[in-house]
């Protein structure tokens, strides 16, 4: 693409191609909306020569479906997915930074190694994102069993503002995937595989844990874990043969060594059971090393490491995203082209596995003939029996508005079966078909339901179901498409009203239902982002308030009493909101430390009953506190010795 000539791609403007791979190409772009709404995006398009390859399309759809489900700060966010002008695409958040592979290579070349603090911080963010993905459930509460299977430096992205993002779920494994990997087929990058993955055996989420261990190893040592040619690397990966990290970095802290031993265990039974467990040890290690990592510190390192690149890339991005308005000549030329359209897909589990075949058109003609001659029962049945399948909505894309008062041109979409040709060069008059009376009846019912505000319920007797039945008969029916947009608009109105009333949960319910009907509704997406932002701000504000109270109670030695107004109580309240909150975990450790100090003091005074009381209370706060456990063993030993002395005196 010529960087000086942005190209319109549906509702997106693509400025330049920034990467190309074996299956897809990635473009930088922008989406603009009403009232100055603008957002930079990255648009991933399947390569043109693969658009007709079913396996490639299935992999692409799988990636979109999985990534769209994952909403986590450390996973690249998907905004949109569909098909436009015979090209499948994914629109995602634009990440401004470098992948970890580039970071490590540049750090070595410029002799600016990644600090242990930043390395552990990056690892903790990766673990947090993967733990979320591994525990993701579908809308029915079933575990999706998502495994990334390609956790490598190329798929870890670090932005210039210090955010860590996991990208590319292209070969991720999940229970709901259309495509599957045959037994014995290796997927992923060999140098970052777990032993079981390198052997082509069945894998679970612990394969990702091993891969994260390799990333940590390379970040803290500055060396590849496996070296050699491809076959040597594969052989070592299968046996997990590598030089121990403490032999490379002599002063490597023990907590890092122990953590790597757990993550890189060849036997999955002795490996970390979950990324959550590894995350807990990472945060404990960070705490004991007195590190205070943050996105800001990582951002400072990134901007320092890529000082020249950052300035030039920022200027290039700014220039590119400003060039998104077409010239008048481009608009005039666009008027002569066939109108573009986008297919927004509402996917179900088996949607992409079901593809229309040419022989179905012949079957459809025969079925319609049978329906026409079979009477009322055949006429009514299609409205009462629903078949499972995806709803594919052809959304016309309006031409870009001019800066004049000239009305905008609206594209007209015509659906043509793959085995017919439009505009045959013959003298025959076009064959006209009588309008299907079921379409008129369906639209009439849908309009009645819409007026009654029966938008998506009750089942079978609502506007959404009625419009869907019409679209199954005529996929390009303009009235039905317009009706779906009306339903989405109604839900946007309802959500907006509830948000103004201070009911964000109810508003979010309307938004989710509305997006299920009209996935491209801009108002619903804007309202969703607004609620998410407000919810997160309120959540963080609540957490900070509780942490302040908890630390105040520690300072005044109100550790576990009085009830509902002590440090432990407030830290527990924080963990109810954020179970993985590191500050709360450290706070509970502080409380346990205080009880350990009190217990040791009482033991030195030979007040064993008081010491035991402090120990028991401290262990309720932190059952794994090493000092308290050691003191408990010591006090039991002393009490046993005292009992033995007493018995000896009695018998003597």
Range in 8-12, 386-390, 453-457 the model is least confident about: 386-390
Could you tell me if 556 and 536 are in contact, meaning their C-beta atoms sit under 8 angstroms apart? no
Model confidence at 361, pLDDT cuts 50, 70, 90, reads very low
Percent residues over pLDDT 70 in the chain: 76
d(CA 287, CA 137): 31
- One-letter-per-residue 3-state SS of 257-311: HHHHHHHCCCCCCCCCCCHHHHHHHHHHHHHHCCCCCCHHHHHHHHHHHCHHHHH
Q: Is pLDDT at 393 greater than 50 in this prediction?
A: no
Q: Is pLDDT at 455 greater than 80 in this prediction?
A: yes
* pLDDT tens-digit readout, 94-150: 999 999 999 999 999 999 999 999 999 999 999 999 999 999 887 677 788 888 888
Mean pLDDT over residues 63-70, rounded? 72
d(CA 232, CA 198): 12
pLDDT at residue 309, as a whole number = 81
More confident call, 489 vs 555: 489
> Residue 593 region, left (φ>0) first, then alpha (ψ -120 to 50), else beta?
alpha
Q: Which of 146, 186, 151, 182 is nearest to 168 (CA)?
A: 151
Q: Catalogue the active-site residues.
A: 150
Taking all residues of the chain, what is their mean pLDDT, rounded to a whole number? 78
* pLDDT tens-digit readout, 221-275: 999 999 888 888 999 999 999 999 999 998 899 999 999 999 999 999 999 999 9
pLDDT at residue 502, as a whole number = 87
Q: Is pLDDT at 489 greater than 80 in this prediction?
A: yes
Could you tell me if 539 and 518 are in contact, meaning their C-beta atoms sit under 8 angstroms apart? no
More confident call, 81 vs 280: 280
Could you tell me if 70 and 136 are in contact, meaning their C-beta atoms sit under 8 angstroms apart? yes
Task: Count Cα atoms within 13 angstroms, Cβ side, for 293.
Answer: 26
Range in 512-516, 629-633, 638-642 the model is least confident about: 638-642
pLDDT at residue 369, as a whole number = 44
Model confidence at 12, pLDDT cuts 50, 70, 90, reads confident
Domains of the chain: residue spans and CATH: 1-94+326-354 (3.30.200.20), 97-310 (1.10.510.10), 538-651 (1.25.40)
pLDDT at residue 530, as a whole number = 87
């Amino acid at each position: 693409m010529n960087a000086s000539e942005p190209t319109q791609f549906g509702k997106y403007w693509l400025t330049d191609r920034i990467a190309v791979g074996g299956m897809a190409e990635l473009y930088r772009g922008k989406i603009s909306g009403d009232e100055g709404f603008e957002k930079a995006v990255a648009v991933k398009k399947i390569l043109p020569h693969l658009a007709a390859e079913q396996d490639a399309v299935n992999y692409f759809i799988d990636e979109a479906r999985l990534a769209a489900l994952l909403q986590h700060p450390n996973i690249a966010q998907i905004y949109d997915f569909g098909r436009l002008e015979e090209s499948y695409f994914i629109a995602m958040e634009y990440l401004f930074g470098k992948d970890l592979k580039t970071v490590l290579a540049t750090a070595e070349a410029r002799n600016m190694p990644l600090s242990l603090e930043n390395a552990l911080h990056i690892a903790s963010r990766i673990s947090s994102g993967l733990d979320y993905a591994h525990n993701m459930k579908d809308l029915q509460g079933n575990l999706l069993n998502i495994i990334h299977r390609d956790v490598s430096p190329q798929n870890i992205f670090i932005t210039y503002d210090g955010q860590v993002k996991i990208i590319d779920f292209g070969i991720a494994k999940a229970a709901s995937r259309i495509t599957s990997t045959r037994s014995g087929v290796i997927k992923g990058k060999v140098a970052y595989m777990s032993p079981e993955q390198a052997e082509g055996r069945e894998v679970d989420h612990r394969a990702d844990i091993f891969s994260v261990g390799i990333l940590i190893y390379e970040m803290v040592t500055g060396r590849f874990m496996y070296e050699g040619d491809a076959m040597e690397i594969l052989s070592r990966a299968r046996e997990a043969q590598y030089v121990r990290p403490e032999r490379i970095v002599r002063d490597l802290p023990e907590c890092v060594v122990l953590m790597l031993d757990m993550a890189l265990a060849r036997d999955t039974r002795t490996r970390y059971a979950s990324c959550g467990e590894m995350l807990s040890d990472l945060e404990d290690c960070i705490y004991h090393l007195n590190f205070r990592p943050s996105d800001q510190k990582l951002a400072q390192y990134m901007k320092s490491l890529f000082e020249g690149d950052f300035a030039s890339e920022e200027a290039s991005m700014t220039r590119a995203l400003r060039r998104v308005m077409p010239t008048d000549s481009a608009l005039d030329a666009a008027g002569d082209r066939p109108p573009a359209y986008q297919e927004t897909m509402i996917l179900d589990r088996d949607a992409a596995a079901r593809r229309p075949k040419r022989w179905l058109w012949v079957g459809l003609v025969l079925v319609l003939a049978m329906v026409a001659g079979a009477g009322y029962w055949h006429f009514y049945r299609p409205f009462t029996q629903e078949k499972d399948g995806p709803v594919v909505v052809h959304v016309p894309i309006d031409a870009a508005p001019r800066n004049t008062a000239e009305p905008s041109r609206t594209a007209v979409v015509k659906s043509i079966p793959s085995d017919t040709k439009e505009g045959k060069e013959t003298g025959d008059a076009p064959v006209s078909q009588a309008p299907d009376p079921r379409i008129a009846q369906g639209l009439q019912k849908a309009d009645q339901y819409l007026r009654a505000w029966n938008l998506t319920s009750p089942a079978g007797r609502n506007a959404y179901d009625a419009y869907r039945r019409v679209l199954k008969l005529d996929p390009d029916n303009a009235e039905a498409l317009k009706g779906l947009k009306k339903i989405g608009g109604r839900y946007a109105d309802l959500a907006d009203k509830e948000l103004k009333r201070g009911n964000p949960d109810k508003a979010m319910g309307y938004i989710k239902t509305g997006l299920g009907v009209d996935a491209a509704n801009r108002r619903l997406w804007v309202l969703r982002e607004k609620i998410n932002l407000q919810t997160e701000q309120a959540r963080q504000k609540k957490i900070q308030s509780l942490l302040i109270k908890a630390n105040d109670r520690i300072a005044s030695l109100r550790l576990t009493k009085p009830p509902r107004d002590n440090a432990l109580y407030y830290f527990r309240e924080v963990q109810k909101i954020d179970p993985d909150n590191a500050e709360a975990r450290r706070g509970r450790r502080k409380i346990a430390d205080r009880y350990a100090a009190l217990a040791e003091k009482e033991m030195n005074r030979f007040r064993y009953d008081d010491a035991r009381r402090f120990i028991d209370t401290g262990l309720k706060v932190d059952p794994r506190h090493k000092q308290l456990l050691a003191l408990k063993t010591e006090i039991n030993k002393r009490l046993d010795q005292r009992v033995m002395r007493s018995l000896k005196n009695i018998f003597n």
